[in-house]
Structure 1
Amino acid sequence: MSGAPSTRPAAFAIGEHDFLLHGWPHRILSGAIHYFRVHPGDWRDRIRAARSMGLNTIETYVAWNEHAPTRGEFDLSGRLDLGGFLDAVAAEGMHAIVRPGPYICAEFDNGGLPAWLTRDPQVRQLRRADPAYLEAVAEYLEQLAPVLVPRQIDAGGPIILVQVENEYGAYGDDHEYLRRLAACIRETGITVPLTTIDQPTDAMLEAGGLPELHRTGSFGSNVASRLETLRRHQPTGPLMCAEFWDGWFDSWGTHHHTTSAQDAARELDELLAAGASVNIYMFHGGTNFGLTNGANHKGRYVPIATSYDYDAPLDEAGHPTEKYFAFRDVISKYVPVPDDSPLPPRPAPAPAFEVELGERGPLPRRVFGPEFTSDQVPTFDEIEHDRGFGLYRAELAGEASRPAVLEIGEVRDRAWVRLDGTMIGTLARDSHERTLMLPSARGTLEVLVEDQGRVNYGPRIGEQKGLIGPVAVAGDPITGWSLQPLALDAVADLDLTVVDPASVQGDVARGVFELPEPTALFLDTREWGKGLAWVNGFLLGRYWRRGPQQTLFVPAGVTRAGMNAVTVLEFEVPGATHARFVQGPDLGPLEE
């Protein structure tokens, strides 16, 4: 009858015992794929593989700092085309869970928070009901709204859940902040259920949740006790492990982490047997392309590796692992797995060949940006240099006839020191190094500093990068500094035939190679020291002899039929004459 109220249930809702899809009980079987860690050309393949394993949902974080490196701008192009990713999820007949943060952790640079936000003096407290912080968050969510709102299930799209914050109970207990953040999300037009996630301890679940938001847990073992704790704090509604940890990430200087496929499958079986929903973290980890890796700091600074393989069911290159088939067998006990979608193929050897690095030369000063001068040593953040490398210079006017100690308050995070163009040594934050003996207290001091990734977890989120003063030589403070940021895009396109008399620590080498068609590759870095590599201008990420990983993954979408170029920027072991592409990944030794 015209004008009568609708009795049609919400397309997706949280019932007394179950998630409800169009009014019917529904179990979420989800897998995490971060669109920004996967080349867009591979999105459909990775999503289809998740469907073939028996999953019905794809979960992703949203990386605020990637979309908005500058306040007032919002990039949704290329690998940041979140709408395109969600459309690909829908095209495979799957649902989506979106976790916009604003803080995401994710072993990602600055935990996903933009550097311009964390250095804003008006923002006095992060992840709190701080007016300036919430104002910036509101702007971010408004920028996301045109992507998310029309793609909710109520509008015929794939999104069924949106998460508020991320494991907040491990950081704070500002419930007013959570309420205002949830309200802000609702004000943008989000109507699907809102959730929180915390490790299932009484303290974290209490601090990180609200009665009006559906609590979920994050864990990878001890299923029965974890669910029991979660149920105490979520007395009604479906139980969900929204991060089922099936592997772990790698950090530079450690081993490659793996977990038993049989043990993980057994825990997944116990979780599903208890009737819970799940999001497998990660289903497919992908890669920290460019300089997007984060870092941890629990007494010692530890940067995350470029590979985010995570020992997931689908490896970094998109190939199924033993864990993929073990999980598929478990899932098939509870729901029919698709028989109309082919399983992803087992890995085949990638092309193996060598490329002569015929073009080479020192890293020239001309690829650095404008010079910023300051009496006191500036940080990267003071010149709004958010990520990468910076060159410091100062003139020393002390005694030329005797050695002197260079002392720096703190290096964040690695520094190559030269005096009058001669390499003196390296200072590393992860070794707590702050001092270096100079052969003289007179001359031109150059310090090239690498930001190895902003801390993504804990109270050090938002800390400044570069050199942290004071800086002294022979006990005398050094003043009169200049700082220039390295323009990485200029390195990839550098004309190495142009000789620049002013060079910096580092060498650039380039070679060309031909492919019959676009092809995924593995670049072997084990003979190099520390640096960066590009293919066709796409920054694959960092490499480091320290390991664990000894190869960089090259997505097929980065290559092309015909001529291709590989560029290497090496800081510590110059002189490489060839680049080697190998048949498969080498992510390093396993823990003994």
Structure 2
Amino acid sequence: MPTFEIGERDFLLDGRPFQVISGALHYFRVHPDQWADRIRKARLMGLNTIETYVPWNFHAPEPDEFDLAGRRDLGRFLDLVAAEGLRAVVRPGPYICAEWDGGGLPAWLFADGSAGVRRHDPAFLEAIGTYYAHLLPVVAERQVTRGGPVLMVQVENEYGAYPGVPADERTRYLRALVDLTRAQGIDVPLFTCDQADDEHLSLGGLPELHKTANFGSRSLERLAVLRRHQPTGPLMCTEFWDGWFDSWGLEHHVTAPETTAADLDDLLGAGASVNLYMFHGGSNLGLTNGANDKGTYLPITTSYDYDAPLSEHGAPTAKFHALRAVIAKHAPVPDEVPVEPAPAPELDVVLDRRVALDGVLDLVSGRTSRTSSAQPPTMDDLRQWSGFVLYGTRVAADDAVLVADEVRDRALVAVDGDPVGVLDRTTHAWSVPLPRRAGTLTLLVEDRGRVNYGPRIGEPKGIVGPVRTATRELTDWEAVPLRLDVAPGLLTDAVWQPAGDDAAPVAGPSFHRGTFGSVAGADHFLRLDGWSRGLAWVNGELLGRYSGQGPTGTVYVPGPLVRAEGNELVLLELHGAAAPRARFVAAPDLGPTEA
């Protein structure tokens, strides 16, 4: 029977030393028709292992649902890893961070306030047990001990960085996770990872679990810190940060290939194992991006390129070649090198059909009917776990100004359909002036991504707390959840109206539709100069959010979504655009950098 064990100084595969040279590749950020290509390119860079997180909320959008099909088919992904001759490391959380919505924890888990977050809490552990019972058999049957690729499984994730949990409760919680994991037939080694910091490493693990560290520079120094906490066994960097993620409104992050290569050389030369985070980042498709909030709320961009060795669209970069050369000094590397992709098709698209959002509310309203209440309910109260909710009430002529305690995360404020301002969590804009007339007040509130790191994990979305004017607190609210993530499939042909002048500015919130022909199966890069902010779909698939605030200048369209003829581009523009036109360009534009 094949074995994978933790030896005195090395990992042991079938009794022989094995240096794990791995790369992170998230199946949930890559179109499934592209999985095999990305895995193959990992092998061509010299990697012998693929690592992936598993986002709980991606598989369980509701408490009574669990989906392992299509782009959620973890089993197929791991089988493709094995078919390429590579090994696998699986990190199922339950919390993953990963700059993913809510750090992977389902919002429904905390909606009624009964479950603790990342604690030894009965309701939380019961839900994890159900999650593991659905998921881990897929992993168990693909363990190396059963002839599959899976070498190791992680327990929790950077738990030492999570504040507010007493040490004894941390230990009980981690041991409960170990028991739940083993109960599902996982017999390969379990491990924890924490930042290469004495406090984090001391709080985030267990004496009986193998400790690993996360870092992206000063490899020998960080390995020495890890060795203090893991005195025997192999050293491993589970997240070797070879780039970084981007947030809307900031610069595109890059790191120098030669610096990253030198740090990797030090790490491998010391005999340590490694997982490159990321080897290939991919995209936050749909409404899956997370956010950080350390005093300023910063949602993550749709692109998760990460300045990784393999770019968002699967092209080898200068960093790919630099790291490949380093790996070749320490391990076998195939002679074959991935070819550079051809430039993407270039074309213009006129979006010659449009419809205002307020004209199709009945078509795009959510699963619940309109909810009326004295106070505005949160999105979580409405069981709307992401996206948009439309709130409404009445204002009087002397109300003068609107003030909200907090909106999570952004609200377009209108009176009788006329825009009057924006409430925004990032800029801490909590008030807007109101016109001096009575009318219907609406707030179109957008959840821009649930916090994925720190103590604000699990917080509700929508309007949180009272809303006031100069004269009173507003009551008698109506709230309508909107299914905007699948809106193109809900809009009938009859609702679309001719756009008219294709050079004239357009007002939002409104949907815009155009068709185009192109090269079937080819990657495309959608450029939306002149558009402000919204959502983009191609052939009914939500690509994600776009924003004129950058840094990202293009939206990646995976080739498998594109047909030769009859492609449909739909945009939901929230503010306005210079003209109803879009462009597909030859190459991505991820935005300006610090340099």
1:120-158 Cα distance to aligned partner (Å, 9 max, x none): 3221x2111111110001110011123111011111111
Name which of 341, 350, 357 aligns with 1:356: 350
Letter in 1 for 2:515: V
User: What is the match of residue 383 of structure 1?
Assistant: 382
Kept in 1, the 8 Å contact 2:261–2:323? The answer is: yes
Q: CA deviation at 1:499?
A: 7.0
User: What is the match of residue 562 of structure 1?
Assistant: 565
SS at match of 2:326: helix
Kept in 1, the 8 Å contact 2:399–2:471? The answer is: no
Distance 1:532 1:143, change over 3 A: same
User: What is the match of residue 341 of structure 2?
Assistant: 347
User: What is the match of residue 514 of structure 1?
Assistant: 517
Q: After the TM superposition, which residues 477-496 of structure 1 pair with which residues of structure 2 at under 5 Å, given as runs?
A: 477-493=473-489, 494-495=491-492
CA distance, structure 2, for counterparts of residue 443 and residue 298 of structure 1: 37
Kept in 1, the 8 Å contact 2:526–2:555? The answer is: yes
Q: After the TM superposition, which residues 201-350 of structure 1 pair with which residues of structure 2 at under 5 Å, given as runs?
A: 201-339=197-335, 342-350=336-344
Q: CA deviation at 1:241?
A: 0.4
Q: Can you give the 5+ residue segments of structure 2 that lack an aligned partner in the other structure?
A: 498-506
Kept in 2, the 8 Å contact 1:506–1:574? The answer is: no
Kept in 2, the 8 Å contact 1:257–1:590? The answer is: yes
1:532 and 2:531 are equivalent in the alignment? no
1:108-129 Cα distance to aligned partner (Å, 9 max, x none): 0000000001223221x21111
CA distance, structure 2, for counterparts of residue 445 and residue 482 of structure 1: 10
CA distance, structure 2, for counterparts of residue 489 and residue 169 of structure 1: 35
CA distance, structure 2, for counterparts of residue 456 and residue 393 of structure 1: 29
Name which of 358, 365, 376 aligns with 1:368: 365
1:25 and 2:17 are equivalent in the alignment? yes
1:346-373 Cα distance to aligned partner (Å, 9 max, x none): 2321000011111112112222222111
CA distance, structure 2, for counterparts of residue 126 and residue 231 of structure 1: 30
Letter in 2 for 1:190: I
Q: CA deviation at 1:561?
A: 3.0
SS at match of 1:476: coil
Kept in 1, the 8 Å contact 2:405–2:430? The answer is: yes
Letter in 2 for 1:345: V
Q: CA deviation at 1:440?
A: 2.6
SS at match of 1:278: strand
Q: CA deviation at 1:564?
A: 0.8
Distance 1:117 1:131, change over 3 A: same
CA distance, structure 1, for counterparts of residue 528 and residue 581 of structure 2: 11
CA distance, structure 1, for counterparts of residue 508 and residue 519 of structure 2: 37
Once the two structures are overlaid, the 10-residue window that deviates more, 234-243 or 567-576, is 567-576
Kept in 1, the 8 Å contact 2:345–2:584? The answer is: yes
Letter in 2 for 1:138: G
User: What is the match of residue 104 of structure 1?
Assistant: 96
TM-score, normalising length: structure 2 = 0.95
User: What is the match of residue 67 of structure 2?
Assistant: 75
Letter in 2 for 1:498: V
1:274-293 Cα distance to aligned partner (Å, 9 max, x none): 00000000000000000100
CA distance, structure 1, for counterparts of residue 520 and residue 375 of structure 2: 53
Letter in 1 for 2:157: N
Q: CA deviation at 1:161?
A: 0.4
Q: CA deviation at 1:489?
A: 4.7
User: What is the match of residue 572 of structure 1?
Assistant: 575
CA distance, structure 2, for counterparts of residue 226 and residue 47 of structure 1: 29
1:159 and 2:170 are equivalent in the alignment? no
1:214-264 Cα distance to aligned partner (Å, 9 max, x none): 000000111111111111111111000010000000000000000000000
CA distance, structure 2, for counterparts of residue 360 and residue 143 of structure 1: 43
1:164-218 Cα distance to aligned partner (Å, 9 max, x none): 0000000144111111111110011000000000011111111001111000000
Letter in 1 for 2:390: L
Letter in 2 for 1:468: V
CA distance, structure 1, for counterparts of residue 195 and residue 407 of structure 2: 33
Letter in 1 for 2:227: R
Q: After the TM superposition, which residues 435-450 of structure 1 pair with which residues of structure 2 at under 5 Å, given as runs?
A: 435-440=431-436, 442-450=438-446
Kept in 1, the 8 Å contact 2:55–2:92? The answer is: yes
User: What is the match of residue 38 of structure 1?
Assistant: 30
Distance 1:482 1:505, change over 3 A: farther
Name which of 424, 427, 430 aligns with 2:426: 430
Q: After the TM superposition, which residues 109-148 of structure 1 pair with which residues of structure 2 at under 5 Å, given as runs?
A: 109-123=101-115, 125-148=116-139
SS at match of 1:126: coil
Once the two structures are overlaid, the 10-residue window that deviates more, 530-539 or 472-481, is 472-481
CA distance, structure 1, for counterparts of residue 581 and residue 192 of structure 2: 50
CA distance, structure 1, for counterparts of residue 495 and residue 233 of structure 2: 67
Kept in 2, the 8 Å contact 1:531–1:569? The answer is: yes
Letter in 2 for 1:477: E
Kept in 2, the 8 Å contact 1:441–1:474? The answer is: no
Letter in 2 for 1:414: R
User: What is the match of residue 160 of structure 2?
Assistant: 169
SS at match of 1:427: strand
Q: CA deviation at 1:416?
A: 0.5
Q: CA deviation at 1:497?
A: 3.5
SS at match of 2:406: strand
1:32-51 Cα distance to aligned partner (Å, 9 max, x none): 00000000011000000000
CA distance, structure 2, for counterparts of residue 508 and residue 587 of structure 1: 25
CA distance, structure 2, for counterparts of residue 499 and residue 576 of structure 1: 17
1:14-62 Cα distance to aligned partner (Å, 9 max, x none): 1111100011110000000000000001100000000000000000000
SS at match of 1:268: helix
SS at match of 1:562: coil
CA distance, structure 1, for counterparts of residue 409 and residue 154 of structure 2: 33
User: What is the match of residue 4 of structure 1?
Assistant: none
CA distance, structure 2, for counterparts of residue 380 and residue 505 of structure 1: 23
1:548-570 Cα distance to aligned partner (Å, 9 max, x none): 00100000111123221110100
What RMSD over aligned residues (CA atoms) do the two structures have, in Å?
1.4
Q: CA deviation at 1:430?
A: 0.5
1:57 and 2:54 are equivalent in the alignment? no
CA distance, structure 1, for counterparts of residue 153 and residue 563 of structure 2: 37
Q: After the TM superposition, which residues 77-96 of structure 1 pair with which residues of structure 2 at under 5 Å, given as runs?
A: 77-96=69-88
Q: CA deviation at 1:547?
A: 0.3
Kept in 2, the 8 Å contact 1:359–1:496? The answer is: no
CA distance, structure 2, for counterparts of residue 262 and residue 230 of structure 1: 24
Kept in 1, the 8 Å contact 2:304–2:312? The answer is: yes
CA distance, structure 1, for counterparts of residue 285 and residue 519 of structure 2: 25
Letter in 2 for 1:580: R
Kept in 1, the 8 Å contact 2:519–2:562? The answer is: no
Q: CA deviation at 1:403?
A: 5.9
Kept in 2, the 8 Å contact 1:441–1:473? The answer is: no
SS at match of 1:188: coil
CA distance, structure 1, for counterparts of residue 14 and residue 496 of structure 2: 67
User: What is the match of residue 583 of structure 1?
Assistant: 586
Kept in 1, the 8 Å contact 2:3–2:13? The answer is: yes
CA distance, structure 1, for counterparts of residue 585 and residue 534 of structure 2: 19
CA distance, structure 1, for counterparts of residue 29 and residue 87 of structure 2: 20
User: What is the match of residue 182 of structure 2?
Assistant: 186
Letter in 2 for 1:495: T
Q: Could you list the structure 1 runs, at least 4 aligned residues long, displaced by more than 4 angstroms after superposition.
A: none
Letter in 1 for 2:317: T
Letter in 2 for 1:159: V
